[in-house]
Every structure is written in C-alpha cells, then in structure tokens.
Amino acid sequence: MKFRKNVARALALNSSLGRSITFFMAGLLLAGIVTCVWTLTRSWDKTVQDAERSAINLSVSQSRQAEDTFLQAELVLREVRRNIPQEGLASITIPPFNTYLAELKDRVPQLHGVMVFDAQGIMLATSLDKRPLMTNYSDREYFIYHRHNNHGSLHIGHVIRSRSTGDMVIPVSLRINDAAGGFEGVLLATVKVEYFRHFYGYFELQDRDLLALLTTDGTTLYVRPYGDETINQNLSSSPLFTRELSQKDRGHGTWVSTLDNIERIYGFARSERYPLVVAAGYDKSALWNSWLRGSLPDIVLNAMLLLGTLLMGAIIFRQVRLNVRNQTQLATLRDELTSINHTLQLMALADGLTGLANRRQFDLFLSQSLKNSAQTQKPVSLIMIDIDYFKRYNDFYGHVAGDNCLRLVGDILQKLQLNKNDLIARYGGEEFAIILPDTGPEAALFVARRAVSMVRGAKIPHSQAGGQHAVVTISAGCYSVIADADFDDAIRLKEGADKALYQAKIEGRDRAMATSDS
C-alpha cells in the first residue's frame, strides 16, 4: 500500500494532468520499445532472407556446375562406346585404344581416368600410364550394378579409392551390351574428388559454412570444409532428405546438420539430369554475431532515445508535482474566482467572441419554444453544428487564428436568412446550434445543408483538415420534435440532434444528417 502511494505521488496520479501525462509517457515508452523491437526484428529477418537467397543461388550454380562436370564425363564414355568395334570388346587393339583413352581423358581436366572392362571385370584398356597390378574389378559396386541392370543410362557411384593411384574418385560408368543385348562389359570414367575440393575452395565462406555435393540417396561425395572423413557418410536422416526434397527440387530451410550438429541456413538444389544434390549452408550463429555487430549502433541509439524519454518524463513529472502543490495552495481563491466567473457567464446572454446568442440564451429560448410547441402541436427543430477538425486548426494555426475562425463561421451562419423567430447560438467551444420553431425535419435539413455549403464555399484555409479541399468545413445534425408536456423534450431534442451530428461525422464530415424518432 505504501509503495502504491509513493508511486501515485511521484507520478502525480491524484491530478488529471498527472494521469494524462502518465498515460502519454507510458504510451510513448511502449511505442518506442515496440518500434525498436520491430525494427531490429525486420533487420534480422532481412539478413536471414538475404542468406537464404545467397544459399539458394550458390546451390543452384553448383548444381549446374556438377551437372556440367558429369555431363562431360558422360560424353566421353558415350564417345568411347560408339568407337568400340562392332565385333565387340575382344577385337580391341589394346595399345592404340589405351592411347585413344588417354587423349580423351586429357581433354577433360576433372577426369582421373577412363577404363574398359569385359564381362568378367578384367581391365582391357585404360588411360593410365601404368596398368595396375590388380586387373579384375568385378567386385566394384559400379560393375555389379551394370551386370544386373540392363539399361544404357549413366550410373554415378559412391566415392572409391583408386586401386591404380590411391586417389579418391567418383566412378561414372556405362554398360556395354553385345549384339544380342547381353552384358559385355563396363565403361568407367573416374572424376577426381580433388577437383571439387579445389573448385569449392574458390568461394569465400566462413569457417563453419558448408558446401556439399551429395547423391539423392543421402551419400556425401564431398563436403567443404571437411576432409575425406565425411566422404560416403549417409545423411538420409537429415531434414534435407526427410522433409525438403520430398516437397521441392530447390529451396531453403533452417535445420541442425546431422553431420556436425551445427544449425545453418541452407539453400539446396537437385540436379535435373543426374541423381545429385548440392546444399549450401551458412552458420546461423556466425550470421547472428555478424548481424549483432552491424546492428549495435542502432541498438545503442534506441537505448539512448528510451533513456532520454525517461529523463524527460522525470522532469515533466517533477514540474507537474510542483504545479499540483501550487494549485492546492490556491484552491480557495480559484474556486471563488470560478464561481464569480460562472455567475457572470450565466448572466450574459450574448457570446463575447462571435456576438451570437450564448448558451444561457439558447437554453431559455429552447425552453420557451418547446412550451409553445406543446400548445400549438407544431414541431421544433434543432440543428447542432460542429467545426470539423477544429483542434487540428487550433494546434496548427494557434488559438488567435482559432478564435478568428469561430467568428468567421458565426458570421456565415448569421447570413442564412432565417425567420426572425429562429435563433443561432454558440453552443460551446467549436459547436453552434440553430433553433427553428414551427419548422419540420425536411426544412431543418435544408437549412443545415445550406449552412454546410456556405461554410465550405467560404474557403477558409485549413491545411490540416485532411480532406480534398483543405478548407474549414462543418458537420451538422438535425432533429425535430413535437413537444409533449409529459416528457423531457429538451433532452430528447438535444440527444437526437447530437446523434445525427455524430452520424454525420462517421459518414465523413462536411455534411448534414437528420434522425427521426424511429
């Protein structure tokens, strides 16, 4: 309880000004915090989106590079298959054919070697300078694959270590059929893993960023920045294969790598021609740290603005507390002056600013008009008028200009050429009222619309009005009653006209509306 009292005293909550300023300062602080968070969130989202686009572009470009690499190997193999004599592999002249294979291999820098195997897996010809000691390769995966699959398409196998040189290579092979369509042998071209290692090394990536070439069954062919220990690892349990590739051939996503448990922002692309996938991933934590360093000036600036707002609020509340204390000391004198001023206002029948009838005269005239209506059973109409966006006018042009605007509108209303028994009054503030005895709703609406038109036609400048004319306009609400001595007709008439005025404002201002008892 004591804490609440201290807070109320510090914020001057016992005064309307203190409560208003407290509400305003709280809203200002909240808006500042929300704006800061929203701005930083949008900045981080844009950073992530840029990383996603970069990852997709990198994976797509490298997918096409991989396609080109293996396409060249395929073209070499298909050329070799076309140049095998019609009599079959047995008719190959080995030394010249070895030279032929070596020439083809030298044309394509990514190739490690080109070889020909018969149906038993015996190496018949090779582009290598020296024939390996072991010449039977029937145990190799690619040989077994072609022996059991009777089609002529290219097969890309998992990475193997060359028995000829010890290098890590990717086997690319084609089946050779005899004249009867039976299995006659295998053509093999090996692509150097070192070729991809060297090529991927050109890209400027962070230490934990990743660029990987994989087969569609989830087997790694090469992963930068890792060495040979990651080759042939199966990543089929990765979200890349369990979720992303099942829905689309290219895209982006964020997940924790099953290779090293690092969360990255990935882009991926599946090759259209071969069973290959390229994935590029940016370390999310490194990206966050980089973004945080770049956003630090904005964060500091926002924090300083919030601190400045708090300091400004403290100064304002101190001044409010002083004002409240001074007002308390002068309360008696203020009440006396207010009472005297109120008495003088009630005694006066004319509004000192506009020269129109004031509120007291309005009330007296309305009461008499309703009494007459109760006797004659003729309607009394009331038009309530409000200057549109007058607070904006005052705030922008100043109170002196605002008073002058009220006088101008009052002068315009006096030119309506009403009956001599009608009354135009300043109801209060920027509100005016017109009492029309012996006048029905249609005639009252006509007068109200004419007043709206005349004020608009006066073209009093109002750049803050927000409308298309940028001039002072009014809204008017009309209501008519036939007085009933058993009912409070004045309240009913005022409420009806005020309701119509409110409806005119809702409809867009600068117009007159009328309501009825229905």
- C-alpha–C-alpha distance, residues 204 and 359, integer Å: 80
Q: 268: which strand partners?
A: 251, 279
> Which tokens is 280 given?
């590029």
Q: How far apart are CA 180 and CA 80, in angstroms?
A: 20
Among 98, 73, 242, CA closest to 169: 73
Neighbours of 170 (CB within 10 A): 26
On the question of a cis peptide bond just before residue 441, with omega within 30 degrees of 0, the verdict is: no
| CA-to-CA separations, 187 to 82, 114, 192, 193, 337, in angstroms, rounded | 11, 8, 17, 19, 111
List C-alpha distances in Å: 207 to 126, 204, 240, 411. Answer: 40, 10, 21, 80
Beta bridge partners of 471: 461
Which pair of tokens denotes residue 90? 């047995």
Quote the strand ranges of 97-230, DSSP E: 111-118, 123-126, 155-156, 160-161, 168-177, 183-192, 210-215, 220-224
Helices (H) then strands (E): counts for the chain? 13, 16
Catalytic residues: 430
Tokens matching residue 217: 């069954």
Type and span of the H or E element at 494: helix 489-506
Q: How many CB atoms lie within 10 A of CB 201?
A: 11
From residue 445, how far is each of 33, 44, 117, 136, 387 by CA, in Å? 49, 58, 104, 107, 17
Distance CA 330, CA 337 (A): 11
CA proximity to 58, closest of 241, 252, 228, 193: 252
Question: Quick one: which of 203, 198, 233 has its CA closest to 219?
Answer: 233
Q: What are phi and psi of 509, to 5 degrees?
A: 65, 180
Which structure tokens are listed for 154? 């290219």
Is 89:139 a contact under the CB 8 Å cutoff? Answer: no
3-state percent breakdown (helix, strand, coil) of the chain, nearest 5: 50, 20, 30
